[in-house]
Structure 1
Amino acid sequence: MMIFLLLLQAMSSPVFSAEWDAQVVMDLEALVTSCVVIPCTFTYPGGKIASSKLRGIWFLRNERNDTVFHEDKSEIAPNFRDRTKLMGRLGEGNCTLEMIEVKDHDRGPLCFQADIPGTGQFTFLKNCALLKMLYDPPKPTLAHQDTASQGEPYTITCSITHTCPSNMPTLTWSRSTGRIIEDHKNNGYGRWEMQSILTFIPEETDDHSKITCTAKFNGGGSSSADHTLLVQRKKNHRHIIVPTLVGIVIAVVFGAACILMMKKYKKRIAELQSSGRGSVWSRLSRMSRRIRSGGAGRGHVEQRSKMDMMDFGAVHMPNNVSSATSVNQKINKPRFPSPKCQPRSNHHIEDYDDDDDEADYTNTAELNIYGNL
């Protein structure tokens, strides 16, 4: 029974309940000439041990003799000396490593080893960090609205991600006015984000101006991002009144021009009508009379021709002509022009005497024959 109780107590002891284990971020980006922090945590068997009784070592997995970090600086490889240190307490299971002045051959893999005096040591070869080297600083990201309104607060945010929280980058703005708020947060897995929030009130003169956010990294590297500000002008009554007034003025000027042209046209027509001779209305009147008189004249000419032929037959007819013919000769009476036609013919002659192209006009009214059979 006593042996069973001792075994049960030993199994419930922290020495047997805990295991060697480590959690290391295996993939990280590191900016050359800057710094990088590799997050690391580990567990060990037994109870909590003071940090002074624990020893942590970082080394290159492919080259075990190249020690990256050691408590004894003489044990550190010359290439890493004075460039590495532990960021946490080993007694609390924090084995985070910081490396400054990163070089392009520091890519690793970097592995951690824990030593407990009197208990043993454990090397975590399966959990090693591999660095991806960045030769150019990453550019910051700008978050903002598409347009700003004149006289209203406008906010623009500049963000940059990095892997060195111990010497985080700084963000500066090209604009001197406004309120700036900075925030630094952990995105997890060894990646951090630095934010700078700029708030200001844009004016009309700020339209199409450029705002620049510059990030400066530890080690001297820098990058920047630009944004062209578009300011929407404040609405007022001028935007409505001015176009309306312009439209009214144009309409008044156009209407006045039309009225003047109409008056001038009517005046010209009146002058032409009052002149009589050579006017449009006079020409139209003469043309109308010419058409009417021309039709009647042709009829009278045909009638006169027929009568002349009859007279010619009466004069030259022989004696043996029938009595019917003599009767017809007696029926013919002298032709007298109508007294009503003489004034009318004179009127027509006067009208057409004015025009040279009507000089050959013949008054056919004189050919009208009035008589009783």
Structure 2
Amino acid sequence: MDFLNPLFAGYILLQVLIQNVTCKWEASMPLTLTGIQGSCVVIPCTFTYPGQQKPSTDITTIWYKDGNEIYDSRTSYTLEGSKYLLVGDVGKKNCSFKINSLESADKGNYYLRTEIQNLDKYTYKETLTAITITDNPEGPKINFAEEIIEMKQVRATCTINNTCRDSPPKFIWDQQNAATVTERTFQNENMTAVSILEFTPSSKDNGKVLKCDVEYPNEKRSSTNVTLNVLYKPKINQSSECTLNQTEFTCYCEIDSNPIPSIMWHLPDKNISDNSTDGTFTSYSFVTGTIITSVIEGPAGNMNTISCSAHNYQGSAAEVFTIQQRLSGKYGFCLTSEFVDMELNYI
């Protein structure tokens, strides 16, 4: 098997050489970019040429706008404050190009030319980037990685396209909804700036507005907001009660829940679902926002207890009404209630 080792080593060497040798003059740039007036734009750019990879000292880079030369690496300034700046390492075949202090006159088609010592020169006219300039940046987008659930940490992202990657915008979150906050911002390779906000919501945050503002280096601003939809298990309100009208009773079970729960009334010998009747007992309900009030009516008879339970996929809650017959006669009933929801426990 030893005779294979030189062959294997030769194969590895060949693969390395192939990776560093190309046969075509090609450039890769985005078709379009939008820059914000007063800010900057970076044209991401890579290029190839025939033969072995050359050092950056052997490569002259020239950029054109609408057929007119605007940058030549042999003569142009390379200071950060310059109007035009080569920010890519051409020795690594990166020709990314930055345009500062954007104005309406910078709108146009940009393309690259390279002149390589001891090789050849080529103008990549078939590959160009059309740049437009705007004074009104688009608004960011807010997304959530998952459902927003009470007392469970949630991650919100605010994302904006940012063609000036060397000068990322400033993100400003409206954090009044968040008790615990972690925030971080980064710029990815897809010319997108992202801010991540992590917070722990409560049921009181449901329906509140979460806002993300973006401020650009030129002080232009854009913003967006979303209304929080916080999911939480049913909570039976203290206003729930029963009343008597002669021998008939009416019980009200008021529940705060998101999503709206299924409700069941539990009598000593039967269950009555919400919005139904068995001919003797009738249940109905009405909804206001996240509050649903279920009502049951019927004869009190010799009933001692009646209970209301509510369930959604976040959890359950229940309330027990105790009916005690203290006196005989037409009005001889007393009604009390006991909450058996874990968060509400009183008599």
| Deviation, structure 1 residue 120 | 3.6
State the match for 1:155 in structure 2: 155
State the match for 1:168 in structure 2: 168
1:244-299 residue CA offsets vs partner (Å, 9 max, x unmatched): x324588469999x948xxxxxxxxxxxxxxxxxxxxxxxxxxxxxxxxxxxxxxx
Higher strand content, 1 or 2: 2
Query: Aligned equivalents of 1:103 and 1:166: distance in 2?
Result: 18
Determine which structure has more spread, i.e. the larger CA radius of gyration: 1
Structure 2 CA distance for partners of 1:248 and 1:145, relative to 1, 3 Å: farther
- 3-state SS in 1 of match to 2:126: strand
**2:217 aligned with 1:214:** no
State the match for 2:91 in structure 1: 91
Structure 2 CA distance for partners of 1:249 and 1:174, relative to 1, 3 Å: farther
**What is the one-letter code of the residue matched to 2:195?**
S
On the 8 A contact 1:155/1:197 being kept in 2, the answer is yes
On the 8 A contact 1:209/1:228 being kept in 2, the answer is yes
- 3-state SS in 1 of match to 2:227: strand
| Deviation, structure 1 residue 133 | 2.1
Q: Which structure 2 segments of 5+ residues have no match?
A: 1-16, 251-298, 301-326, 332-347
Using the size of structure 1 for normalisation, the TM-score is 0.53
Structure 2 CA distance for partners of 1:200 and 1:17, relative to 1, 3 Å: closer
Structure 2 CA distance for partners of 1:74 and 1:87, relative to 1, 3 Å: closer
- 3-state SS in 1 of match to 2:57: helix
Q: Spell out the pairing of 1:103-122 with structure 2 (5 A cutoff).
A: 103-122=103-122
- 3-state SS in 2 of match to 1:167: coil
State the match for 2:130 in structure 1: 130
Q: Which structure 1 segments of 5+ residues have no match?
A: 1-11, 76-80, 261-373
On the 8 A contact 1:147/1:229 being kept in 2, the answer is no
State the match for 2:55 in structure 1: 50
How many residue pairs align between the two structures?
A: 236
| Deviation, structure 1 residue 131 | 0.8
| Deviation, structure 1 residue 149 | 4.4
Q: Spell out the pairing of 1:1-373 with structure 2 (5 A cutoff).
A: 18-62=23-67, 64=68, 66-73=69-76, 82-144=82-144, 148-175=148-175, 177=179, 178-187=181-190, 192-231=191-230, 235-236=234-235, 238-239=236-237, 242-243=239-240, 245-247=241-243, 251=248, 259=330
On the 8 A contact 1:33/1:220 being kept in 2, the answer is no
| Deviation, structure 1 residue 156 | 2.6
State the match for 1:366 in structure 2: none
- 3-state SS in 1 of match to 2:166: helix
**What is the one-letter code of the residue matched to 2:192?**
E
On the 8 A contact 1:69/1:85 being kept in 2, the answer is no
On the 8 A contact 1:101/1:219 being kept in 2, the answer is no
> C-alpha root-mean-square deviation of aligned residues, in Å?
3.9
**What is the one-letter code of the residue matched to 1:196?**
S
| Deviation, structure 1 residue 89 | 1.5
Structure 2 CA distance for partners of 1:20 and 1:228, relative to 1, 3 Å: closer
| Deviation, structure 1 residue 90 | 1.4
Using the size of structure 2 for normalisation, the TM-score is 0.57
1:11-47 residue CA offsets vs partner (Å, 9 max, x unmatched): x999x97333322323222222221111222222332
Query: Aligned equivalents of 2:31 and 2:167: distance in 1?
Result: 21
Could you tell which deviates more after superposition, 148-157 or 53-62?
148-157
On the 8 A contact 2:64/2:111 being kept in 1, the answer is yes
1:91-134 residue CA offsets vs partner (Å, 9 max, x unmatched): 22211111122111112211211112344422222222211222
Query: Aligned equivalents of 1:147 and 1:45: distance in 2?
Result: 52
Query: Aligned equivalents of 2:125 and 2:187: distance in 1?
Result: 32
**What is the one-letter code of the residue matched to 1:45?**
P
Query: Aligned equivalents of 1:38 and 1:49: distance in 2?
Result: 22
- 3-state SS in 2 of match to 1:102: coil
Query: Aligned equivalents of 1:170 and 1:249: distance in 2?
Result: 64
